[in-house]
């Protein structure tokens, strides 16, 4: 798909972005914003900007010419490209971030993941009756750990259904 716009299939590169001057000079009434040979998108504006909608039409036309037996309509291909544009804008934004900011974001995410794993490990190591008893006692519901698991589950489920 990306080879249509001059990028290899496994490319991590983005299609070129249109300059402000190019977008100002373009008149939607005079035709498409670009052609496949000089394909470019608007990464600075909205994913569904007039420029990007025009680029979607260029892409869909090229796609249908290349894949003559395609079962999808031009409109569906255009909508798919515009959805894909949202991902390209995110990718562009992340590439523009400084690497220190990205590393910090990843470190925070990994720390949250580790905390979640520790929490899940703790809960899986506690017998069910103890876990339910502690939940019920935190809700100020009197119960005994010696109560059967079935009774505790019934009591817990009835409290949850009331909430």
Give pLDDT tens digits for 5-29: 555 566 667 778 888 899 899 998 8
Cα 9 to Cα 13, 31, 65, 97, 128, distances in angstroms: 10, 28, 18, 24, 50
* 102, part of any domain: no
Q: Of 3-7, 52-56, 104-108, 132-136, which gets the smallest average pLDDT? A: 3-7
Return the pLDDT at 15: 79
Q: What is the pLDDT of residues 39-73, one digit of tens each?
A: 888 888 888 889 999 999 998 988 888 888 888 88
Q: What is the pLDDT of residues 73-98, one digit of tens each?
A: 889 988 988 888 888 888 887 777 76
Helix (H, G, I), strand (E, B) or coil at 17: strand
Cα 156 to Cα 20, 64, 67, 162, distances in angstroms: 61, 59, 59, 10
Are residues 145 and 91 part of one domain? Answer: no
- Rounded to whole angstroms, the Cα distance separating 124 from 116 reads 12
Are residues 144 and 84 part of one domain? Answer: no
Are residues 149 and 73 part of one domain? Answer: no
Indicate the average pLDDT of the chain. 76
Residue numbers of the domain that contains 7? 2-96
Give me the number of domains the chain comprises: 2
* 117, part of any domain: no
* 108, part of any domain: no
* 105, part of any domain: no
Place of tokens 């373009």: 26
Are residues 139 and 64 part of one domain? Answer: no
Are residues 50 and 6 part of one domain? Answer: yes
């Amino acid at each position: 798909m990306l080879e249509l716009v001059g990028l290899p299939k496994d490319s991590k590169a983005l299609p070129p972005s249109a300059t402000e001057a190019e977008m100002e000079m373009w008149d939607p009434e005079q035709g498409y914003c670009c052609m496949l040979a000089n394909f470019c998108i608007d990464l600075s504006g909205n994913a569904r900007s007039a420029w990007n909608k025009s680029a979607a039409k260029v892409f869909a036309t090229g796609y249908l010419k290349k894949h003559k037996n395609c079962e999808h309509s031009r409109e569906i291909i255009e909508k798919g490209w515009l959805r894909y544009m949202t991902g390209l804008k995110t990718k562009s934004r992340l590439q523009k971030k400084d690497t220190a900011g990205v590393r910090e974001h990843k470190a925070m995410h990994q720390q949250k993941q580790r905390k979640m794993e520790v929490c899940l490990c703790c809960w899986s190591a506690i017998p069910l009756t103890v876990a339910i008893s502690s939940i019920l006692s935190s809700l100020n519901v009197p119960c005994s750990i010696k109560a059967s698991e079935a009774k505790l589950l019934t009591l817990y489920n009835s409290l949850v259904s009331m909430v």
